């Protein structure tokens, strides 16, 4: 581990020189690349240098204790040694975590899809609650949110919605949200006061870049049609809605939120690239099925991951056995406690392996 950290520290110093070089700065493309590479290892290198300082201090303290030249100084050194050893152990653990292989998608933007599941109108209303929850969370994180496509019911529920969330580390924070979210409550549409169980599915996809997914013009079929639902005079009169079919995989994406056919096409292509990338990754991960099953968040849309129980005011994440009696706050976007616990659990699993 020390050899690897030393090599990273040398790389960091070289990158620091490069980003300060006027010739490199003149080439913005190269300069941005070096800045990004430096930022990726900065936390590791700074922690390693702090670790080296503590190790040096431990050696000096041992030398003072061994010399036994001054009783008072020796006593102070012995007292300080325990603190230094504790610092060293904490830094070692931090370095182990920092050196874990990172998910290459962690820094990407997110395409988040919410669909009403079993439960009719109540499931659609719950899907709308989930949309509000993630919207509030994105706002707390200072992320930008854009609706790509939405199918809204007459009573304000959501049959399906796709949103783009843009912000640093968006995928790293939201990637464990994929799966079935279950709600237990008395529906607004239920006059008998009986508790119903309904569900909605959430899928979290990293936004794919053009270089990751090569979709040629011959790989897709584009159909245009009139938008439906609320939207003013353009609805049912202008062929602005777009449906794109990816012929090799059969994946179909529709978008009708914009009045412009061109904008709808652009949005649909962004969603299509993400779904094609997801399919490619699923095929690749099938060879590592056992590893995927052991993950905290496997990304399986059919996996029941969380229950929101309104009568008891609790939220339970079934993957890690976490129950919080803070339902109201969680639905307002206060998700950090759940997300931090999921990230910690996954990190512990990786360290164990």
Q: Angle between the 28-67 and 71-98 helix axes, to the nearest 10 degrees?
A: 150
Element (DSSP H or E) covering residue 226: none
Which letter does DSSP use for residue 288 in this model? G
Given this model, what pLDDT does residue 301 score?
56
pTM: 0.69
Query: In 3D, which of 319, 344, 316 has the Cα closest to residue 330?
Result: 316
Rounded average pLDDT per 10-residue block, the chain, 353 residues: 89 93 90 88 93 94 88 88 93 86 84 92 95 97 92 92 92 94 86 85 85 79 76 55 89 84 86 85 61 49 86 95 96 96 89 76
Query: Could you give the CA distance from residue 267 to residue 37 in angstroms, rounded to a whole number?
Result: 30
Which CATH architecture is the domain 217-285 placed in?
2-Layer Sandwich (3.30)
Query: Could you give the CA distance from residue 208 to residue 34 in angstroms, rounded to a whole number?
Result: 22
Say if domain 110-211+291-352 classifies as CATH 3.30.70.1660. yes
Alpha helices in 230-335 (DSSP H): 261-285, 289-294, 327-331
Q: Which two tokens stand for residue 227?
A: 């938008």
Query: In 3D, which of 107, 115, 352, 122 has the Cα closest to residue 206?
Result: 107
Query: Could you give the CA distance from residue 318 to residue 296 in angstroms, rounded to a whole number?
Result: 10
Sole residue written with tokens 């490199």: 24
Given this model, what pLDDT does residue 113 score?
94
Contact 85, 59 (CB under 8 A): no
Q: Angle between the 2-19 and 28-67 helix axes, to the nearest 10 degrees?
A: 130
Residue 321 zone, left/alpha/beta (φ > 0; ψ -120 to 50; rest): left
For the chain, what are the domain ranges?
Answer: 2-98, 110-211+291-352, 217-285
| Cα separation values, 168 from 3, 106, 142, Å | 30, 9, 9
Query: Could you give the CA distance from residue 274 to residue 243 in angstroms, rounded to a whole number?
Result: 16
Helix (H, G, I), strand (E, B) or coil at 136: helix
Given this model, what pLDDT does residue 300 score?
52
Helix (H, G, I), strand (E, B) or coil at 89: helix
Query: Could you give the CA distance from residue 261 to residue 224 in angstroms, rounded to a whole number?
Result: 8
Given this model, what pLDDT does residue 235 score?
47
């Amino acid at each position: 581990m020390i050899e690897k950290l030393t090599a990273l520290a040398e790389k960091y110093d070289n990158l620091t020189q490069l980003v300060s070089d006027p010739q490199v700065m003149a080439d913005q493309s190269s300069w941005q690349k070096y800045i990004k590479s430096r930022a990726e290892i900065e936390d590791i290198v700074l922690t390693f240098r702090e670790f080296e300082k503590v190790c040096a201090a431990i050696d000096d303290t041992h030398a003072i204790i061994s010399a036994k030249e001054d009783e008072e100084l020796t006593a102070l050194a012995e007292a300080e040694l325990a603190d230094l050893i504790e610092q060293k152990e904490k830094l070692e653990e931090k370095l182990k975590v920092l050196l874990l292989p990172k998910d290459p998608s962690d820094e990407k933007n997110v395409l988040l899809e919410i669909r009403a599941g079993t439960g009719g109108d109540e499931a659609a209303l719950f899907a709308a609650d989930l949309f509000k929850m993630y919207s509030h969370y994105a706002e707390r994180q200072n992320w930008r949110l854009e609706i790509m496509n939405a199918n809204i019911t007459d009573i304000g529920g959501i049959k399906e919605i796709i949103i783009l969330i843009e912000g640093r580390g968006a995928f790293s924070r939201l990637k464990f949200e994929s799966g079935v979210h279950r709600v237990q409550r008395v529906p607004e549409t239920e006059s008998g006061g009986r508790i119903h169980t309904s569900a909605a599915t959430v899928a979290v996809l990293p936004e794919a870049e053009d270089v990751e997914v090569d979709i040629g013009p011959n790989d897709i079929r584009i159909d245009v049609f009139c938008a439906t639902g609320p939207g003013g005079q353009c609805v049912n009169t202008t062929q602005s809605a777009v449906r794109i079919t990816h012929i090799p995989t059969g994946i179909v994406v529709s978008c009708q939120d914009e009045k412009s056919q061109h904008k709808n096409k652009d949005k649909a292509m962004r969603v299509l690239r993400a779904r094609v990338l997801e399919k490619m990754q699923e095929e690749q991960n099938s060879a590592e099925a056992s590893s995927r099953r052991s993950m905290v968040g496997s990304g399986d849309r059919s996996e029941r991951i969380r229950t929101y129980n309104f009568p008891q005011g609790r939220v339970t994440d079934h993957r890690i056995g976490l129950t919080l009696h803070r339902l109201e706050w969680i639905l307002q976007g206060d998700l950090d406690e759940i997300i931090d616990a999921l990230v910690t659990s996954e990190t512990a699993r990786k360290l164990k392996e």
